[in-house]
Structure formats: C-alpha cells, structure tokens
Amino acid sequence: MIDRGQIVEALLGQVVALLPEAGKIGLTEDTDLRDFAGFDSITIVQLLMWAEAAYGISLTDDEEAIGRASSVSGLADYLVKRWK
C-alpha cells in the first residue's frame, strides 16, 4: 500500500526543488501552489513527470491530475486514489 504521508513529504521536496522560493515561506501540503511566480504549466508537467517516475502511474495526460497539482495535498490524494 502506498503511504500518503511519504508521498506528501516527497512531493513537498520536489516542489521546493522546482520552486526554491516555496521552501522559504513554510510550504505545507495545503499551500496553493498557484500563488508562486513560476508555477505554470511547465512546472506542473515537471511535477507530474517526477510523480510518474516515482510512483509508476501515468499522469501527464490526465486532466484530473493536472487540476489536482495546484496543491501537494490534492496531488497526494489523487496518487493514493489512483494507486488502489
């Protein structure tokens, strides 16, 4: 079974890697990532590609996954749902 807490921690780390300024403001799983300059369609694709590689789930052509990528929490919940 996939562990949501581990997914959240991994996604938070990846968001900070993609958007270093996110790490400076106390990023949480519920932070709206759209509030960060640079969080755009390219960043979403990069985050989804990372998650695909990490969890073996196809996401980049999935409209729901793209929509859920506006927060770590939303994407983590979606990954858990898709894993089942």
Say yes or no to pLDDT of 18 above 80: yes
Domain region containing 53: 4-83
Task: Write out pLDDT tens, residues 25-74.
Answer: 889 999 999 888 788 999 999 999 999 999 998 988 889 999 999 999 99
Please report which residue ranges of 1-84 form alpha helices under DSSP H.
Answer: 4-18, 41-55, 63-68, 72-83
Give the domain CATH number at 14: 1.10.1200
The number of folded domains in the chain is 1
pTM beyond 0.85: yes
CB 31 within 8 A of CB 78: no
